[in-house]
Amino acid sequence: MTMKLYCFGESGHSYKAALGLAMSGLDWEPVFVDFFGGETRSATYRAEINPMGEAPVLVDGEVRLSQSGVILDYLSSKHGRFAGRGAAEAREVLRWVLWDNHKLSAVIGPVRFMLNFLPAEKRPAEVIAFNQGRLTGAYEVLDTHLAGREWMVGDTMSNADFTCCGYLYYPEPFGFDRAQWPNIDAWLTRLSQQPGWKAPYDLMPGNPSDRA
């Protein structure tokens, strides 16, 4: 049975789940969520797709899951890859998924949204600057961790890679310059060279140009 991923191209969290699906070789198809048209805020979406009013959502037969980290873990339970080799690595993968969700994606998402999807006159400059300062600290943690490593955990790709890269491939400016972080840059390049990898707007429907 073909799995369905409710997603949209601009969503970094959706990209994490879509990338996990693409790299796994599982049979899936994207279902476009019109976030900018208000779909996730609609009563129908909350009743039928996700009561949390968010994307992504994975539907696999009777299984319906939200939250990208949970989706990635579920996918690993199906194909047996990317969850870490052994209990110690599995905990380390989980550690980085939680770190990303709290320290990296949780900050990049709003900053990128404010800088690229709000009218210029509505962008709160002080809020953006404050959060970009927080992000500098997160980039330092990530770049230091990747020094001398090919992958986030162990010697192969894992869900830690898919979650931590989620927003870093997007072309819109939000204060992240790959050239300033050589270990992150090398890691992103390495990941993009793996079979199955695609950039966010090539992997999921929905693109800012659609609303231009």
Per-residue pLDDT reduced to its tens digit, 148-194? 999 999 999 999 999 999 999 999 999 999 999 999 999 999 999 99
What pLDDT, on the 0 to 100 scale, is given for residue 99?
98
**208: burial class by Cβ within 10 Å (0-12, 13-18, 19+)?**
middle
Give this prediction's pTM: 0.96
Of the pLDDT bands very low, low, confident and very high (cuts 50, 70, 90), residue 1 is confident
**How does pLDDT run across 18-74, given as a tens digit for each residue?**
999 999 999 999 999 999 999 999 999 999 999 999 999 999 999 999 999 999 999
Q: What is the pLDDT of residues 86-110, one digit of tens each?
A: 999 999 999 999 999 999 999 999 9
Task: Summarize pLDDT for 133-161 with one digit per residue, the tens.
Answer: 999 999 999 999 999 999 999 999 999 99
pLDDT of res. 211? 81
Domain ranges of the chain: 3-81+198-211, 86-192
Supply the CATH classification number for the domain 86-192: 1.20.1050.10
pLDDT at 145: 98
Q: What is the pLDDT of residues 106-138, one digit of tens each?
A: 999 999 999 999 999 999 999 999 999 999 999
Q: Which residues contact 100 (CB under 8 A, 6 or more apart)?
A: 160, 163, 164, 166
Cα–Cα distance, 138 to 100 (Å, whole number): 9
Per DSSP, the chain holds a count of helices (H) and strands (E) of 9, 4
Distance CA 45, CA 77 (A): 27
CATH, domain range 3-81+198-211: 3.40.30.10
Q: How far apart are the two ends of the chain, measured CA to CA in Å?
A: 36
List beta partners, residue 21.
Answer: none
- Structure token digits, residue 75: 């996918």
What pLDDT shows up at residue 212?
A: 72
